[in-house]
Amino acid sequence: MDQDTSLPSNGSIAPKPAAPKSYNNILIGLLALSMLGNVYLFVGKNKVSEQNNFLISENTDINAAKDTLQNQYDAALARLDDLTGKNAELDQLVKDKDGELGKLKSQIKSLLGKKNATIADLKKAQSLIGSLRGKVKTYEERIAELETANSTLTSENTELSKENEVISTEAAQLKKLGSVLHISNIKMEPINQKRNGEKEVETSRAKKVDILRVVFDIDENRIVESGLNEVFVVIEGPGGKLLSNAAYGSGVTSGADGGAINYTVVKRVNLEKGEKMTNVSVDWRQDNGYTKGDYTISFYNGGYKIGSGGVQLQ
């Protein structure tokens, strides 16, 4: 038999099936819990507000009023205790029994401790508690201001310390640079020694050169400290070959960039701050003689190149 799919005889559409009851119950339950939570918060806040703002009249229950006032007093003391240790001035005020805070606490404690307290006593206690709470609030605000100010000051001090470090570093670098010596009047003199060194004659012929003598001036320096200073001399022969011999004082020093500087000889001089030294000389002798060509000389102090010169041997 075929299923009848025709509309009802009155022409209306058949109603949809109702939602399951269990689903509706869950929604109702969740809404109820949410409402209960809001009610609880509302009641809790109202209860605190009522305790803080209740009025004492001739018809007030004395015992209930004392309990409420005691709660207010205890809450104020707890807030005060939280503030101790955060400010030395406040700590002293709290410890001072003869001070304003001490007197307030003593009066409130005395009034609330009366066995036969009157409505007038409770009203007075309420007024004093209000004063105490006002002072606590003032202290809280003041400490908050001080903490903000201290935080700002700490931040500023940190920045200032960083700036000072940068300035100190820059000053040290400038002093180091300013302490680097400067030389002038550089001369390279090829010397031929005669009569077992008793007579010296300047020559330009390579085969006759016994000594390469370097002469220079050290200009005045108002930053360098008086005392021993070192000038490293680098002599290079034809083709850029370094003239060196460890037995005659050749070695290695550090450049300002951290690299190595191989030097021929070092000249140590005692400088006086702000005074010029003239005709400073240093000699270099080769065991195997000199070859024809160009010879260059460079000077280093404090890791920096401070001068250069040269000579040609025939």
Are 223 and 178 within 8 A, CB to CB?
yes
pLDDT at 6 > cutoff 80: no
Confidence of residue 12 (pLDDT cuts 50, 70, 90): very low
Radius of gyration, CA atoms only, the chain: 49
Backbone phi, psi, residue 51, to 5°: -65, -35
- pLDDT at position 153, please? 87
CA distance 306 to 234: 12
CA distance 234 to 242: 7
Confidence of residue 19 (pLDDT cuts 50, 70, 90): very low
| Residues β-bridged to residue 235 | 297
Between 281 and 19, the higher pLDDT residue: 281
| Residues β-bridged to residue 103 | none
pLDDT at 199 > cutoff 60: yes
pTM > 0.75? no
Q: What is the mean pLDDT of the chain?
A: 81
pLDDT at 82 > cutoff 90: no
- pLDDT at position 195, please? 74
- pLDDT at position 26, please? 58
- pLDDT at position 3, please? 43
CA distance 46 to 67: 17
Taking only the tens place, the pLDDT of each residue in 238-258 is 999 999 999 999 999 999 889
Confidence of residue 59 (pLDDT cuts 50, 70, 90): confident
Detail the DSSP E strand segments found in 132-243.
183-194, 199-202, 211-218, 227-236
